[in-house]
């Protein structure tokens, strides 16, 4: 079987509802987020056990990912392996601001979409996120051999990884929006290619 990474965005957090940017901010799942993770776990248990189970489950260290990963790992008897390089695109001193304020007061979106090296004070740049998450995905892919591996990470980080791998351009990340507890199938050998993208029918 060709190695397939199941890229999964964490369940809903309050900032997703209120339109705030939580990158490095550690936020718990909402009740809806926990239900999404449960539905995801049920779906994975039904669908992928028939394909040889999951060989491993990896997660960002942030609790919204780790708690999502714990639920989906349980049906397969897997432990969750934490990888710090799967963490979200953090924006330093601009963390937790409403998206509207980032746009209107800080010119944030124009700056990040025109300069991949721009980073707010204490935060990441798009290039910095790509430089850690893409090698992390390749490392996970190469280490685990063949089969299925779940990787639970974040919306912006996963989008940047997909844009870098598929388009060789992290700035194309706007084309790869993924929803909470969605599944995206990614294969990296012999070259990067998508299977299902942003699959949410289980929700």
Place of tokens 């289980």: 202
8 phi, psi to nearest 5 deg: -130, 130
Residue-level pLDDT at 146: 67
Residue 2, helix vs strand vs coil: coil
- Return the pLDDT at 89: 98
The token pair at 177 is: 């929006």
Query: What's the pLDDT at 53?
Result: 78
CB 97 within 8 A of CB 90: no
Query: Burial level of 105, CB count in 10 A (0-12/13-18/19+)?
Result: exposed
Every domain of the chain and the residues it spans: 4-194
Q: Which class for 147: exposed (0-12), middle (13-18), buried (19 or more C-beta within 10 A)?
A: middle
Residue segments in the chain with a per-residue pLDDT below the cut of 70: 1-2, 50-52, 144-146
pLDDT tens figures, 31-60: 999 999 999 999 999 887 765 678 899 999
Q: How far is CA 81 from CA 5, 58, 69, 85, 150, in A?
A: 14, 5, 9, 12, 10
Query: Can you give the pLDDT at residue 158?
Result: 98
- With tokens 């974040």, the residue in question is 154
H or E element: which one contains 148? strand 148-153
How much is the pLDDT for 75? Answer: 86
Structural tokens at position 19: 């339109």
Is domain 4-194 in CATH 3.10.20.30, yes or no?
A: no
């Amino acid at each position: 079987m060709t190695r397939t990474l199941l890229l999964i965005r964490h369940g809903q957090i309050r900032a997703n509802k209120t339109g705030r940017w939580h990158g490095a901010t550690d936020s718990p799942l909402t009740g809806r987020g926990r239900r999404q993770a449960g539905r995801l776990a049920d779906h994975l248990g039904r669908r992928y056990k028939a394909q040889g189970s999951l060989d491993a489950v990896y997660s960002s260290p942030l609790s919204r990912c780790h708690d999502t990963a714990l639920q989906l790992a349980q049906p397969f008897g897997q432990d969750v392996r934490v990888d710090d390089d799967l963490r979200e695109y953090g924006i330093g001193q601009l963390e937790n601001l409403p998206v509207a304020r980032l746009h209107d007061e800080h010119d944030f979106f124009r700056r990040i979409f025109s300069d991949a090296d721009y980073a707010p004070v204490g935060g990441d740049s798009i290039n910095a996120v790509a430089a850690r998450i893409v090698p992390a995905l390749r490392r996970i892919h190469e280490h685990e051999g063949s089969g299925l591996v779940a990787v639970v990470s974040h919306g912006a980080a996963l989008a940047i990884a997909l844009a870098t791998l598929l388009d060789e351009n992290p700035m194309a990340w706007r084309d790869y929006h993924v929803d909470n507890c969605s599944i995206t199938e990614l294969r990296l050998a012999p070259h990067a290619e998508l299977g299902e993208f942003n699959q949410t029918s289980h929700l």
